Amino acid sequence: MQQYLPQVLENRQKGLKAISTPERLLLGPGPSNAHPDVLRAIARPPVGHLDPFYIELMGEVQELLRHVWQTQNRLTLPMSGTGSAAMEATIANSVEPGDKVLVAIKGYFGNRLSDMASRYQAEVVHIEKEWGQAFSLDEIEEALVLHRPAILAMVHAETSTGVLQPMEGIGDLCRKFDCLLLLDTVTSLGGVPLFLDEWKIDLAYSCSQKGLSCPPGLGPFSMGPRAEEKLTKRKGKVPNWYLDVSLLNQYWGSNRVYHHTAPVNMNFGIRESLRLLAEEGLENSWNRHKASASRLWDGLERLGLRLHVDESLRLATLTTVVIPEGVDGKAFSNHLLNKHGVEVGGGLGSLAGKVWRIGLMGYNSTDENVDYILNLFEMELPSFQK
C-alpha cells in the first residue's frame, strides 16, 4: 500500500529538521517580543483543564486582568483565541438582530467592528474621522442624538493610525442616551492609562501579544453589569457557541463546568505576563511606555522624518511615521528584517504605502530598543532615498 509522503519530506531525503526560529526584534504593530519569563512559563508541562492547580490559576488570571483593566467586572476572562476572537465575543454576546450599532470609525479596526456587527444582523451606522484624527465629545453626542443606538463601538488605541482616542465623558454620554459602550483596547492594555469602571465601559477586549508581552493566542474580554443584563434578557441564544459568555462563565465562574479544552499553557503564559505587569506597577508601565515613545518621536523628528499623528493624540505603544517622498517603504522594511532582524510594520487601508508603524509594546518598550531603531533609520534609510 502506497503511503502519502509530504512534498517537504520528498524534497529532503533525511526528513524535516527540528524547528529553528530566527532571532527577531519585533518593533511592528504586534506581536511584540514575549518576556523570557513568559516563554518559560508556557514551556512548563501542561496539566488538565480541570486540574485543581489550573482551576486556581484561572482565578489568578481573572483577578490580574481586572487589575490591569481597573475594573471589578465579574465576567472578565481570557478568550481562547486571538484578539479578534475577543472582539467578536463582545459583538456576539451583546448584539441581537435589528439592534442599532453605531461604530465610530477612525481607522482599519473600526471597519472590522462594523463588519462583525453586520454579520450578527445589526443595523450598523457610522461616524467617521480622517485616519490620524480622533472624535470630539461633541461629535459623539451629536451621533448619539441622531441615531439613538443600542451600542456605541469604538477603538481606544487605533493600531492602524497610532491615534489614542480621548475617553473622558463618552461613558457618561452613553448612560445618558441608554446605550452600551464597547471599547477596543488591543493596543492600549498595559501600555497606556485605561480605566474601564471609571470611564463607564460596558464591554472591552484586548489581546495577549502586545502590551502584555505574551505570544498571540488569548483575547482578554470584560463585560460590565449593564452588558450582562442585556445578555440575560436576549430573546434567543448567543449565535456563536464557542464565544457564548453565558456558557463560558460556567467554566470560568465558580461552577467550573467543562466548556472546551482550554489552552492551558497559554494561560500559564498570560498569568506570568500579568504578574510581571502587576509587579512593575501599572503607572510605572504607563510612564515607561510614554518615555520610550517620547524618545522615539524626538529622535525621528531630529532625523527629518514626519509623524502622522499630532502629538496630543499620539499613542505611546504605536507610532506612525510618514514614508518620505521617493522611498519604497516596503523595500526598506524588508531590508531591516532581512539584514538586521528588525520588524517594522507598514500601513493598512488608506495608509498602505504611506506610513511605517513602529511598535514599542510591553517588554520591547525600552530606551535601548529606541536608540537601536533610530540608529538603523539614520544609517540605512539614506541609501533608499532617491
pLDDT band at 38 (very low <50, low <70, confident <90, very high): very high
Query: What pLDDT sits at residue 7?
Result: 65
The 3-state DSSP class for residue 189 equals coil
Angle between helices 367-380 and 282-302 (to 10 degrees): 20
Q: Is the pLDDT confidence value at 276 over 60?
A: yes
Which are the contacts of 122, defined by CB distance < 8 A and separation ≥ 6?
91, 95, 97, 98, 99, 100, 101, 151
Distance separating alpha carbons of residues 55 and 42, to the nearest angstrom:
16
Mean pLDDT of 209-228: 98
Mean pLDDT of 2-8: 60
pLDDT band at 386 (very low <50, low <70, confident <90, very high): confident
What strands lie across the sheet with 203-205, from one edge to the other?
75-80, 218-223, 203-205, 180-184, 151-155, 100-105, 123-128
Query: What pLDDT sits at residue 17?
Result: 81
> What confidence tens digit (pLDDT) does each residue in 327-372 have?
999 999 999 999 999 999 999 999 999 999 999 999 999 999 999 9
Handedness of CA 146, 149, 152, 153 (dihedral sign): negative
> What confidence tens digit (pLDDT) does each residue in 283-298 have?
999 999 999 999 999 9
Q: Do domains 25-32+282-384 and 36-278 have the same CATH topology?
A: no
Query: What pLDDT sits at residue 122?
Result: 98
- Which of these ranges, 14-23, 84-93, 220-229, 358-367, has the smallest mean pLDDT? 14-23
Domain 25-32+282-384 class, CATH top level: alpha beta
CATH number, span 36-278: 3.40.640.10
Query: What pLDDT sits at residue 9?
Result: 59
Question: What are the distances in angstroms from CA 105 to CA 76, 184, 215, 236, 310?
Answer: 26, 12, 28, 29, 18
> What confidence tens digit (pLDDT) does each residue in 119-133 have?
999 999 999 999 999
Distance separating alpha carbons of residues 191 and 162, to the nearest angstrom:
13
Q: What is the mean pLDDT of the chain?
A: 95
> What confidence tens digit (pLDDT) does each residue in 190-212 have?
999 999 999 999 999 999 999 99
Query: What pLDDT sits at residue 94?
Result: 98
Which are the contacts of 68, defined by CB distance < 8 A and separation ≥ 6?
189, 190, 194, 212, 274, 277, 278, 282
Q: Where are the domains of the chain?
A: 25-32+282-384, 36-278
Q: Is the pLDDT confidence value at 255 over 90?
A: no
pLDDT band at 154 (very low <50, low <70, confident <90, very high): very high
Distance separating alpha carbons of residues 96 and 121, to the nearest angstrom:
7
pTM of the predicted model as reported, rounded to 2 decimal places: 0.95
Q: Which helix (H) or strand (E) holds 87?
A: helix 83-94
Query: What pLDDT sits at residue 5?
Result: 57
Query: What pLDDT sits at residue 3?
Result: 62
> What confidence tens digit (pLDDT) does each residue in 296-313 have?
999 999 999 999 999 999
Q: Is the pLDDT confidence value at 13 over 90?
A: no
Q: Is the pLDDT confidence value at 1 over 90?
A: no
Query: What pLDDT sits at residue 385?
Result: 84
